[in-house]
Amino acid sequence: MPNRLYLSSPHLGENEQKYVQEAFDTNWVSPVGPNIDAFEKSIAVYADTGFVAALSSGTAAIHLALIMLGVERGDTVLCSSFTFAGSCNPIVYLGAEPVFVDSETATWNIDPELMEEAVKMLIAEGKRPKALILVHLYGMPAMINEVMEIAARYEIPVIEDAAEALGSRYQERALGTFGVMGVYSFNGNKIITTSGGGALVSDNESLINRARFLATQARDPAPHYEHTQIGYNYRLSNISAGIGRGQMEVLDERIAARRAIFRQYQEELQDIEDITFTEEPEGYFSNRWLTTILINPKSGITPEKIRIMLEEENIESRPLWKPMHLQPVFKDAKKVVNGVSESLFNTGLCLPSGSNSPQDRINQTIEMIKSVFK
């Protein structure tokens, strides 16, 4: 059996070990130290954003963002339904209620019209949403202008979940920098990794200072341990940040590699009418974290058939994210849906997209998919 071809596996560069070794050599192995400072700085420079807090995960970053926006028990928070559970679980940690909004077909992200419908519905119920979690799924920017206009009109603060979209751009500007706060993830399967980690970014310095404070158990300044509020243990370690520092240096190469893989799939499968790809609309730049395809159900070929066939050659593929409004755990949650994300879930497949995928295995994946449609 050939080595497993993963959907998205870690791809380390030259300098990660050096920075980790430095942390050992200087005994900076706790959640403070030069790697954290340098990692945060490199993210700020890369995204052209003011301030960055490196955290233990993207989920932790969303949790802290919601806390800082004052989300409490009984509040409602809007969230794209078509996403990974990490986007919305923190809403529930706070005893608040997620309200799921379906997708539009161009970018697969939150549908602005449905979003406005949801806002109006909640206001009519006396439950004005406290925040919107705006997800950029698979690295593709959402319809940001439209969404931000509605959010501004109803005075709803936006947290951008750019966990999958580090390096993606909308009208030249980095995703994660449009909302009041933005979130990145450095989990092992993301475009770059710290083995596990995340970041909260903002142009508002006091929000990021407060995130750092909350992430280190909300310790008030005093020689002893003094606490006036509840804190969390959410800081990234200086060891992990060393990995992140090296990864930031190769981020643009990783994006270029993923985009090249996307282009290869698209070019070599374009003659198959029953397979479609998502294009970048004008002004959009996707990091192409994962290449996704849609398969016309009229072809009689299901994504599951392809997945099982690839699995036999030790090639990993995966259905698209199952929408949150279809998840058993959220069966009672409010939702405004149009069937788009459900249809995407039923007809889509994520293909191996890692920047270190061996070329011959990508070629093999393409040939196998072609063979099904012959």
Residue 292 makes contact with ligand PLP by CB under 6 A: no
Return the residue nearest ligand PLP (CB atom).
58
Residue 353 makes contact with ligand PLP by CB under 6 A: no
Q: How far is the CB of 234 from ligand PLP (least distance, A)?
A: 11
**190 is an active site residue:** yes
Binders in 108-137 for ligand PLP, by CB under 6 A? 135
Residue 237 makes contact with ligand PLP by CB under 6 A: no
Q: How far is the CB of 184 from ligand PLP (least distance, A)?
A: 8
Here's the x/- map for ligand PLP, 196-215, by CB under 6 A: it reads as: --x-----------------
Residue 160 makes contact with ligand PLP by CB under 6 A: no
Catalytic residue among 41, 120, 190, 370: 190
Cβ proximity to ligand PLP: between 55 and 122 the closer is 55
Residue 86 makes contact with ligand PLP by CB under 6 A: yes
Residue 120 contacts by C-beta under 8 Å, 6 or more apart in sequence? none
Q: How far is the CB of 161 from ligand PLP (least distance, A)?
A: 5
Q: How far is the CB of 305 from ligand PLP (least distance, A)?
A: 26
Total residues binding ligand PLP (CB under 6 A): 14
Binders in 135-154 for ligand PLP, by CB under 6 A? 135
Cβ proximity to ligand PLP: between 190 and 245 the closer is 190
Here's the x/- map for ligand PLP, 12-51, by CB under 6 A: it reads as: ----------------------------------------
Residues in touch with ligand PLP (CB under 6 A): 57-59, 83-84, 86-87, 135, 161, 163-164, 185, 187, 198
Catalytic residues: 190
